[in-house]
Structure 1
Amino acid sequence: MLSTPQKQRIALSAYFLLSGICFSSWASRIPTLKTNYNLSEEELGNLLMIMPASAIIGIPLSGWLVAKFDTRTPLQIASVAFLISLFSLSWNLSIFGIAIALVLFSVALRIINIAINTQSLAIQEKFEKKIVGSFHGLWSIGGILGVLFSTVMLKYNISIYWHFLSVALFGCLIIVTMFPFLIKNDRAKVGTKFKLGKPSRYITLLGLMVFFAAICEGGMYDWNGVYLKEVVKQDVFTYGYLLLMICMTVSRLTIDKLMERFGMQKLYITGSLMVMLGVLIAVVFPTLYPVLLGFCMIGFGVSGLYPMTFILAGKSKKYSIAIVMSIISTYSTVGMFLGPPLIGYLAHAFGLQKAFITFIIAGFMFIPLSKMVFSHLKKSV
């Protein structure tokens, strides 16, 4: 017989899994949309720029939701909106229609990220061993399942309409069956008043770390397929995404043990170096196997940055966990959606290979930022 915390962990795991499936389904079919609408790199970049702008617009909404309700309520509403927006991206819409769908997609994803990460920290308190990394590992497993399904759809020439409809129906099954088991009555009683202004230095540093992590992840999610298709000249362009997600999953499923053995500070430095080296290999040697090796290294390097930073965010005392997650997720969501259009603009100006150097710069930033974070923690003890 499963205990209540175990049921809550399983239910939340299902939402992490579903989020990964939906996001990778979208990201792995971006080349399809680019082809269907005959978009240049610059035009695709313009379209993707809608997403960070929408995430910023969603700040007041998400802040109000986490202060007003238990996290399970906005999580359920946002999950439904997420599935609807994903499915609508497969319709034969105008560019304006695609833009509207992307607005809903990005705002819903922002709310989901806040809710599931807030619940993950609440569930962590009920277990002695670290489990936050396993939740993010399940998100990556969802990413693998999503890109595997996308690969099958591409191989057998199944239209994006039936592809996204299948994902949406599966998502409906998840949210109907798992919602009753999510944590209830977790709305914070104090620290829920979020005021626009300068946050604490500690929160700002954490926000910047997830921002640069999101630049790497978001850019790699959206452009690795295009890189394989247009630079490496591969017809089945989902192989890179698949390997990237496999490496991220393996790393995230072991990150809890790695944190206990080596400590977060060493893992931040190691992750930074692996991201930079992986991108360098992919840029300097633009053939299939070196590029796939580079993508694997990027996956291993970037994978632990999110769970570690969210754990550190739980140590903040200025706001409730939900509000801190809202602030941190703002940086994350903007980075996740800013990276892809930024790469698009740079690719249009300098070529996609040179544009990937952006990831080297983003990867380097974890070294000074993590040092400042741990220096702050030592002073506050």
Structure 2
Amino acid sequence: MSNPIASPASAHVVVITPMRRAALPLLFLLLGVIYASWVSRIPALRDNLQLDPASLSLFLLGGGIGAVGSFPLAAWLVGHYGARRASWYAGLMLLLSIPCLALAPTLPLLMLAMLCVGAFSSCFNVAINTLGAEAEKLAGRSIMSQLHAWFCVGTLSGALLGSVVAGMEIAPLVHFGLIAACVAIPLRLCYRALPNDRPQYIAGKKHFALPHGPLIALGVVAFGGAIVEGSVADWSGVYMKDRLFASDGVAPLAFAFFAGMMLLTRIVGDRLKEALSARRVVAGGGLLAGIGMLIALLASQIPIAIVGFALTGVGVATIFPFIFSAAGRHGPTALAGVTTMGYTGGLIGPPLIGFLAHGFGLPAALSLVGVLCIAVALAASRARWLE
């Protein structure tokens, strides 16, 4: 009679199902859909509460504070429960918090809702990028740009959907509620498909630390890249509407094309990295992003401005996947620390643009983003761990 207990060799056989293959890219896609869904409705949220640029900056500041403040929690969740379980916990709380943006009747409550969105988004982001860094190690080749391309698929889809929904004058609450309900099912399927990675508990283990040594250079590039990406995402629609008089349905197209070109660039990003090195690709991208912002700010026609934002998307596309890949090689603690610096840029950038716009006008404020693109290029050229 055969032995019912599997041999050691057979015990390690892992069946890779189609859902398991799709789970990690799908998590990046879902994050993009969620992010673009609320970003595309910023003009509507602003109009509902009659916010001026300074008040809108305070709203965005709430998200940045939540994101930066949550990174010790994100690192602890990944270190204590594993990236798979952390992505499920954070993703579920993110879906519950999104509709609260549309329910908030006052600016303080809107800021509180945005703080929760920022916190749970960052926890989810750290978890799935940790999963991506581990998958890249197992694959033995660069795959992070492709994973972030799926995030762009999500942001492009979410932005286009947001444009359609806004054009149909559907209320943000209905929009956000439907997004949360539709995303919850694939989020659960991804969690069940991914392998259990819960780490072994080690007493006194440190799960979070700010970047030090050569990691600081990676953090600086992430810091600048986050300001550029966040400022375009949060302010391009407002710029299109207020400066070029775009309609509610057309205004989100600036971000949609920005996200679309990021997607196309990230699809080929890993090949560019192997051919030219990550450092050259990110530095060249920073210069291109600066040119794109210049075109967008000098444009007097809506299509030309959209082209400028699209070029900016090409330029910044490889910053985060290559930075996260480089930091992830040094473990989740290094990844969380570098990501903290990146999200600190996301904290400072969009609100700073709002405060400058309040005093000097939005075009002058966004010109700072173009200058920062050049600074990112210079910093990337000196980041020796960005390989």
TM-score where L is the length of structure 1: 0.92
Once residues 291 and 386 of structure 2 are traced to their aligned partners in structure 1, the CA distance between those partners, rounded to angstroms, is 29
Please state if 1:11 is matched with 2:23. yes
> SS state of the match for residue 145, structure 2?
helix
One-letter amino acid of the structure 2 residue matched with residue 332 of structure 1: G
- What displacement does 1:189 show? 7.2
Q: How does 1:205-244 map to 2 (within 5 A)?
A: 205-235=217-247, 236-244=250-258
Structure 2 counterpart of 1:12, one-letter code: L
Q: CA deviation at 1:199?
A: 3.5
Distance in 1 (alpha carbons) for counterparts of 2:242 and 2:148: 31
Please, which of 149, 162, 168 is the counterpart of residue 161 of structure 2? 149
CA RMSD of aligned residues (A): 2.1
Task: Give 1:338's match in structure 2, choosing from 345, 348, 358.
Answer: 348
- Larger of the two Rg values belongs to structure: 2
The 1-side partners of 2:253 and 2:376 are apart by 27
- Give the counterpart letter for 2:251 in structure 1: F
Q: Does the residue aligned with 2:199 lie in a helix, a strand or coil?
A: coil
Instruction: Select the residue among 40, 58, 63 that pairs with 1:28.
Output: 40
Please list the CA deviations of residues 149-170 of structure 1 after superposition, one character each: whole Å capped at 9, or x if unmatched.
1111112111111111110011
Task: State the alpha-carbon separation in 2 of the partners of residues 126 and 5 from structure 1.
Answer: 17
Q: In structure 2, give the amino acid aligned to 1:204.
A: I
What is the CA–CA distance in structure 2 between the aligned matches of 1:188 and 1:265, rounded to whole Å?
A: 35
Q: Write the letter of the residue equivalent to 1:292.
A: I
Residue in 1 aligned with 2:173? 161
- In structure 2, the residue matched to 1:322 is 332
Which range moved further: 270-279 or 51-60? 51-60
Structure 1 276/72 Cα, relative in aligned 2: closer, same or farther at 3 Å?
same
Aligned with residue 315 of structure 2, among 282, 295, 301? 301
Partners of 1:5 and 1:252 lie apart in 2 by 25
* TM-score normalised over the length of structure 2: 0.90
* 1:262 and 2:272 matched: no
Q: Is 2:230–2:346's contact at 8 Å kept on the other side of the alignment?
A: yes
Alignment check: 8 A CA contact 2:80 2:201 kept:
no
Shift of 1:26: 0.9
- 1:193 is matched with 206
In structure 2, distance between residues paired with 1:53 and 1:128: 36
Whole-angstrom CA distance in 1 between matches of 2:374 and 2:17: 38
How far did 1:31 drift? 0.7
* Greater mean deviation of Cα atoms: 362-371 or 213-222: 362-371
Separation (CA, whole Å) in 1 of partners of 2:17 and 2:290 = 39
- CA deviations 1:179-199 (Å, max 9, x no partner) are 111232253778951465x64
Match of residue 359, structure 1, among 344, 369, 373: 369
In structure 1, the gaps of 5 or more residues are: none
Residues in 1 aligned to 2:329 and 2:156: alpha-carbon distance in whole angstroms:
31
- Percentage identity across aligned positions? 27
Report the CA distance between 1:102 and its aligned residue.
1.0
Structure 2: gaps spanning 5 or more residues? 1-13
> Residue deviations 1:66-112, cap 9 Å, x none?
22121112211110111111111122533232122111111101111
**Counterpart check, 1:39 vs 2:51:** yes
Q: Is the 8 A contact 1:275 1:363 kept in 2?
A: yes
What amino acid sits opposite 1:95 in the alignment? Answer: L
Q: Is the 8 A contact 1:71 1:187 kept in 2?
A: no
| Distance of 1:8 and 1:205 partners within structure 2 | 35
Query: Is residue 215–residue 359 contact of structure 1 (8 Å, CA) maintained in 2?
Result: yes
Equivalent residues of 1:5, 1:126 under 8 A apart: no
- Aligned to 1:201, the other structure's residue is in SS state coil
Count how many residue pairs are aligned between Structure 1 and Structure 2: 371
SS class of match (2:382): helix
Give the AA of the match of 1:358: L
Question: What is the alpha-carbon distance in structure 2 between the residues aligned to residue 231 and residue 212 of structure 1?
Answer: 25
